[in-house]
Amino acid sequence: MLRLANICSYNVMACSGNCNYSTDKQLNYLSQENAAALDQELFNEYKFSVDQLMELAGLSVATAVARVFPASTHKSALIICGPGNNGGDGLVAARHMTLFGYSVAVYYPKRTPKPLYENLLLQCERFGVNVINDLPPPEELKNDYNVLLDALFGFSFKPPVRDALKPALDALIVSGLPVCSVDIPSGWHVETGPDSENSLKPALLISLSAPKLCAKPEILKNVKHFLGGRFLPPGIVKKYNLTLPPYPAQDQVVEL
């Protein structure tokens, strides 16, 4: 039985000006356990496919990035993708960002040998995304890029970071470029956040479905925060007692 008591609520009226979403209700934050359970319920009970949710998530990510770091000021974007669903979201976002006017490159050091991921990568290439095999030194990334998208690790991440992916995480941490993280800032504990002063400090977080515990305002300080994933069925919202902000008009994202 799901332990729904692990879902935590936080009064968003105490955001100290850091949140745009203001209500007398409470915003819910998901534990790692319940985030995984919610995903499985979408797959098993509501028959969403992985690629269906990935497409919706990736579009939300691209939209939020464009709101905060538009192509008019941050033309060149590097998307760093990991081997899991978070990386798949990044590949989808890469395709949409090219349509939004960005010049996009993808670094995908540990590729997932499954048709879904292979197809997403092929689509990126056919849309003009530059898939790079070698990551420049972190201090040189500023020469070619204006913004980084962190699609390395999602809410299933558990340390330590594998050697093959450590240079990618190091680049996100020390490049000096603004970093937009997909769902979880890579390397963070899903519930308690960064474990040291040397952890990744994103400029933007795009939470998917519902924000996770590490996205509480007292942890996620001085970070733009958007919610994406306007696809949750009413039954999921009710079962998990989710209190989420309304999306404006037909928007796929909302700023928290």
DSSP-derived 3-state class of residue 48: coil
Q: 203 with 220: CB under 8 angstroms?
A: no
Q: Tell me which of 4 and 185 has the higher pLDDT.
A: 185
C-alpha torsion 35→37→41→42, nearest 10 = 20
pTM of the predicted model as reported, rounded to 2 decimal places: 0.88
CA distance 77 to 95: 12
The predicted-structure confidence for 4-41, as pLDDT tens digits, reads as follows: 334 443 333 333 333 444 433 578 899 999 999 999 99
The predicted-structure confidence for 102-114, as pLDDT tens digits, reads as follows: 999 999 999 999 9
Q: 178 with 204: CB under 8 angstroms?
A: yes
Q: 77 with 105: CB under 8 angstroms?
A: yes
Type of residue found at 232 = L
3.40.50.10260, 3.50.50.60, 3.40.50.970, 3.40.50.2000: CATH of 4-255 = 3.40.50.10260
How many helices and strands in the chain, by DSSP H and E? Answer: 6, 10
Domain ranges of the chain: 4-255
Q: 192 with 156: CB under 8 angstroms?
A: no
Residue 3 scores a pLDDT above 70: no
